[in-house]
Amino acid sequence: MKYPKALEDLIECFSKLPSVGRKSAERFALHCLMHLDEADVIDFSNAFIGINTDINICPECGNICEGDSCIICKDNSRNHRQILVVEGIKDLFTIEKINNYNGIYHVLNGAISFSKGITINDLNINSLVEKVKNNEADEIILATNATLEGETTARYIKELLNEYNVKITRIAHGLPVGGDLSYADEMTVLKAFEGRREY
């Protein structure tokens, strides 16, 4: 026996979400069917239409925006000559939460990955290179993840921008605040050791 087609369609949609397998997708779809009221289901449907129609990608930095450029790029009180490079939009929001950064961003929308076949050409990088070429930036802060992909991407961008007159920095990696040295993995301890400063 198969599920009705309408339900099967919804299960298939849910299966496209990250780390959602067939079983979870079934659970989500059945929950929507049995436990959400009609208005909630309509809201869900409209929310998808909403992201298609109401959200754009800022051509300046790759952030999401409602108009034609994002509120960070529009904000003249921010330092437009300091550019923090992140892999994804979620990372941008994470940095914004610390309420301590006043420059602008550049969202790569991914990272170089040999295993997934993602090269520099698949990333949003050209507008950043252009800005540096045109001497529109003083500092590029590389805040890609501390993973193989993130490190590779950071190094690649450094190579790419090295010939221009711009300061390139990398965010610090080390022990997380509140972290216990004995529980930290070796790479983190190594990074913490290498990055030690005078106290």
What is the contact surface with a second copy in residues (CB under 8 A)? 1, 3-7, 9-10, 12-13, 16-18, 20, 26-34, 36, 38, 40-55, 64-66, 71-72, 88-90, 93, 96, 109
**For a second copy, which is the closer residue by CB, 39 or 181?**
39
Distance CA 91, CA 145 (A): 9
Rounded to a whole number of angstroms, the distance between the first and last alpha carbons of the chain is 69
Q: Rounded to the nearest whole angstrom, what is the least distance from the CB of residue 82 to a second copy in the complex?
A: 17
Q: Residue 98 or 181: which CB sits closer to a second copy? A: 98
Q: Establish how many alpha carbons lie within 13 A of residue 99's alpha carbon, considering only the half-sphere containing its beta carbon.
A: 0
Among 59, 52, 56, smallest CA distance to 67 is for 56
Q: Minimal distance in Å, beta carbon 87 to a second copy?
A: 11
Nearest distance from residue 54's CB to a second copy, in Å? 4
User: Based on CB atoms, which residue is closest to a second copy, 2 or 197?
Assistant: 2
Which C-beta is closer to a second copy: that of 23 or that of 167?
23
Locus of tokens 């290179």: 129
Cα–Cα distance, 74 to 80 (Å, whole number)? 10
One-letter amino acid at 68 equals D
Kindly tell me the number of DSSP H helices and DSSP E strands found in the chain. 8, 6
Cβ 34 to a second copy shortest distance, Å: 7
Pairing mode of beta strands 79-86, 103-107: parallel
Our CB check for a second copy shows the closer of 27 and 167 to be: 27
Query: Shortest distance, CB of residue 6 to a second copy, whole angstroms?
Result: 4
Look up residue 152 and give its two tokens: 């590779």
